[in-house]
Amino acid sequence: MDRLRAMTAFVRAVELGSLSAAARELHTTQPTISKLVAALEHSLGVRLLERSSSRAAATDEGLRFLDSARRLLEDYEEALADLGERRREPKGLVRISAPVALGELRLNRLMLQALAQYPQLQVELMLDDRFVDPVQERIDLAVRIGGALPPDRVAQPLAVWPRWLVASPGYVQRHGKPRQPQDLARHAYLRYAGRDDTVRMDGPQGATASIELAARYRINSAIALLEAVQAGAGIALQPSWMVRALLSQGALVRLLPRWTGPAQTAHLIHAPRRRVPMRVQAIQDLLLAHVPQW
């Protein structure tokens, strides 16, 4: 029996919740995964999984064995990485998850830079606005903006971006500029879909404002919202990383510059590990060096 393969099958079956899901990820069949786990159980003399047609759950013995199996697999991967890193050049695949807008507008170019800098590196950048669990989906690094941080994962602060009120020069020419937050009620306000009508802002010397604005147009895409602002459809609060370059180019105008909306906070999330492979460290260093500057 290939014990490493059997332990991998067991660990992924538990993490993904079914033998069939583990089989799909490991590019094999469900009977093969079942046989590998059964052989592992026979060699250990305990039952590791409770199986059904739709799910697999670890037994008490399986839960106790799970952490040890994970550590053994990590040690094996690290040993392989040590051999490959003797040339001191990042090599291999790094899987990254990030929000769609951040990935399309910023991270894509940074990953192309990484590929040019490290010829032996491979990158798989997966863009999804939902939270992706690094363990369940075998992600090396996940960039997450906002939301509660998972208590059993490592969450490293990455960046804090203020939100600025912006509009196109054409919109300002047609409708003028608000002079104070309350003036926004007389303007076309655009917002991300699914949020309430309250707009909260912080101003000079600790001032705050909370305005009820009923938006005629709501969009569940950050990129589409930015396009609507650029097209002159109205005013919106946008994170600084999305609009800084457009403001410097004159493509957008910042309104009420002494006021900011609630900041966006980004974290870099990954599974706990004792050692970071060089391939992952290379990407992590790039993210930590560049993303806070956006």
Tens of pLDDT along the chain (294 residues)? 688 888 898 888 888 888 888 888 888 998 899 888 888 888 888 889 888 767 888 898 888 888 788 878 877 776 766 665 555 688 889 999 999 999 999 999 999 999 999 999 999 999 998 888 887 788 999 999 988 888 888 899 999 999 999 999 999 999 999 999 999 999 999 999 887 889 999 999 989 999 999 899 999 999 999 999 999 999 999 999 999 999 999 999 999 999 999 999 999 999 887 678 889 999 999 999 999 999
CA angle 151, 273, 119 (to 5 degrees): 120
Determine which helix (DSSP H) or strand (DSSP E) holds 30, and give its type and residue range: helix 30-44
The CATH number assigned to the domain with range 3-85 reads 1.10.10.10
CA 70 to the chain's CA centroid: 23
Distance, in Å, from the CA atom of 110 to the CA atom of 129, rounded to the nearest integer, reads: 19
- In this structure, which topology does domain 87-152+266-293 adopt according to CATH? D-Maltodextrin-Binding Protein; domain 2 (3.40.190)
Equal CATH topology for 87-152+266-293 and 161-264: yes
Distances in Å between the alpha carbon of 165 and those of 168, 199, 247? 11, 11, 11
154 three-class SS: strand
HSE-up (13 A, CA, CB side) for residue 39: 15
* Surface-to-core class of residue 243, CB atoms within 10 Å of its CB (0-12 exposed, 13-18 middle, 19+ buried): buried
223 three-class SS: helix
Q: Which has the closest alpha carbon to 265: 171, 169, 149? A: 149
Quote the pTM value: 0.70
Check if CATH label 3.40.630.10 holds for domain 161-264: no
* Surface-to-core class of residue 239, CB atoms within 10 Å of its CB (0-12 exposed, 13-18 middle, 19+ buried): buried
- Domain boundaries along the sequence of the chain: 3-85, 87-152+266-293, 161-264
HSE-up (13 A, CA, CB side) for residue 150: 16
